[in-house]
Amino acid sequence: MIRNRVKWLIQFCQEMDVNIHNNKAKASIVAISMSDSLQDSELGDCFIHAYQAPSSIFMDALQTTDEFNAILNILNEQLLEV
């Protein structure tokens, strides 16, 4: 499920001309992918909100978690295929 979300969000970013290689975009992709409470139909809107108005305190805290780093590794692997 997470891999599919990451893949979908990468495609979404490309369609929206978002630089998927910058840290803000990566953090937003990972954070949105991690959220079990989101429906797949909400991913695009939630990404835009997270990307446009990220909370630096929230993102800094999130980046220290093992789950964030595991999903970031998935994201980076998929970016190699783009």
Q: Would you list the domain boundaries of the chain?
A: 2-80
Could you tell me the pTM of the whole model? 0.83
Share of the chain above pLDDT 90, in %: 67
* Top-confidence residue, 43 or 81: 43
CA–CA gap between residue 67 and residue 80 (Å, rounded): 20
Structure tokens at 38: 């989101």
